[in-house]
Amino acid sequence: MVDSSPLISKTVVAKLPYNRGRGFSFLIVVSAVIFFISAGYLAGTWFYQGVLENDLRTLTGDLDKIKKEFDLVSLEDFSKINVSIETAKTVLGGHKAVSRVFDFFEKNTLPQVRFLNFSYELGEQPSLAFGGEAKGFLVLAQQILILRKNEFLKNISLSNLSLKKGGLVGFTLTMILDPKLIKYGP
């Protein structure tokens, strides 16, 4: 015998009540906030990239204009002038200005003293030797004191004292010069 009951039952299943909840869930709100923040950062970086690219194009254009205006020949000329200036500095730095010695002694010699001969040596330690006459021993002593007070003269020594006609005193002065006195330049 065959059962003639239907395969699908005709009994009504009771409907479960639908629970609507309290609105959006907390997880959806948090994910939406994170999404909007990320979208804001994306828009901001995209805008900033555009600004930077625009600035780069502007600066590149300005640099190209400056390169066109700048004459490379003038750069070579400036380089040659610089080499000439440095060479002149080297030459003038090694130059000795002996005329400053004469100016120095003109200003620092008493009227009663005269120098008759002069010799110098411009080696590692520049030195001078003067032969001269003074109107007495006191005047000669005053002259030596004036020279010893000066910072440019060192190791001043007196030699070859002699008494000459008319009360004049003959002498020889030797000294070492500070190289700053004979250096060329300010």
Element (H, E) at 91: helix 72-94
Mean pLDDT value of segment 140-158: 82
Residue 169 tokens read as: 């005193």
Helix (H) or strand (E) holding 145: helix 137-148
Lowest mean pLDDT across 15-19, 155-159, 169-173: 15-19
DSSP string, 25-89: -HHHHHHHHHHHHHHHHHHHHHHHHHHHHHHHHHHHHHHHHHHHHS-HHHHHHHHHHHHHHHHHH
What pTM, to 2 d.p., does this model score? 0.47
Give the confidence band of 55 by pLDDT, cuts at 50, 70, 90.
Answer: very high
Per-domain boundaries in the chain: 27-70, 99-182
The pLDDT-based confidence of 60 (bands split at 50, 70, 90) is: very high
Residue 185: pLDDT band with limits 50, 70, 90: low
- Cβ proximity of 176 and 154 under 8 Å: yes
Going by pLDDT thresholds of 50, 70 and 90, the confidence category of residue 45 is: very high
Instruction: Give me the CATH topology for the region 99-182.
Output: Alpha-Beta Plaits (3.30.70)
Q: 102 versus 30: which is more confidently predicted?
A: 30
DSSP state string for 89-126: HHHHHH-B-THHHHHHHHHSS-TTEEEEEEEEE-SSS-
Q: What is the pLDDT of residues 61-85, one digit of tens each?
A: 998 888 777 766 677 778 888 888 8
pLDDT for 34 equals 95
88 in Cβ contact with 175 (< 8 Å): no
- At 1 the pLDDT is 52
What single letter denotes the amino acid at residue 93? G
